[in-house]
Amino acid sequence: MTPRPMELVAVYLERNGRDELRFVPTCSGCGELVLDVTEANVAVVGGNGSCLDLEGTHKGAKVIRIDGRPHVFCWPCDSKHGGNVPWVNAALVFRDRDDAAQQRLNPTFRSVARRKPQ
């Protein structure tokens, strides 16, 4: 099965009388919005996972492009597409301000795009 292209979808979450702007990925398997990024993975698909080109450096680290394209999979779809390597939990790619572990790592992370109710 060929994965669908991943999209970022702009949404507002209405909570406590305020709207919060979020950008959430769609699952490359089922196409649903991945609202809880702690329960999804980002995997490289369509290549052999080999290193391609040195793109330069960033803060003292070499930046090396990997063969393939990144796709987000919710956990049920990830288990169906299994074996995608390399992969990482989506919470490490998409910052989730509601995840307590991420708040401990970066307690000052907050959304800068908020609007007050009309």
pLDDT digits (tens, 9 = 90+) for 54-75: 888 988 998 888 888 889 999 9
Q: Residue 86: inside a domain, yes or no?
A: yes
Question: Highest-confidence range of 13-22, 54-63, 89-98, by mean pLDDT?
Answer: 54-63
Predicted confidence (pLDDT) at residue 81 exceeds the cutoff of 60: yes
Q: Residue 16: inside a domain, yes or no?
A: yes
Q: Residue 94: inside a domain, yes or no?
A: yes
H/E stretch holding 89: strand 87-89
Q: Residue 53: inside a domain, yes or no?
A: no
Q: Residue 30: inside a domain, yes or no?
A: yes
Predicted confidence (pLDDT) at residue 110 exceeds the cutoff of 80: no
Residue 21 is part of which domain span? 8-42+69-112
Q: Residue 97: inside a domain, yes or no?
A: yes
Say what the pLDDT of residue 21 is. Answer: 82
User: Considering its fold, how many domains does the chain have in total?
Assistant: 1
Q: Residue 103: inside a domain, yes or no?
A: yes
Residue 117's SS3 state is coil
Distance (Å, whole) CA 53 – CA 23: 30
Distance (Å, whole) CA 93 – CA 71: 11
Q: Residue 118: inside a domain, yes or no?
A: no
| pLDDT confidence tier of residue 2, bands split at 50, 70 and 90 | confident
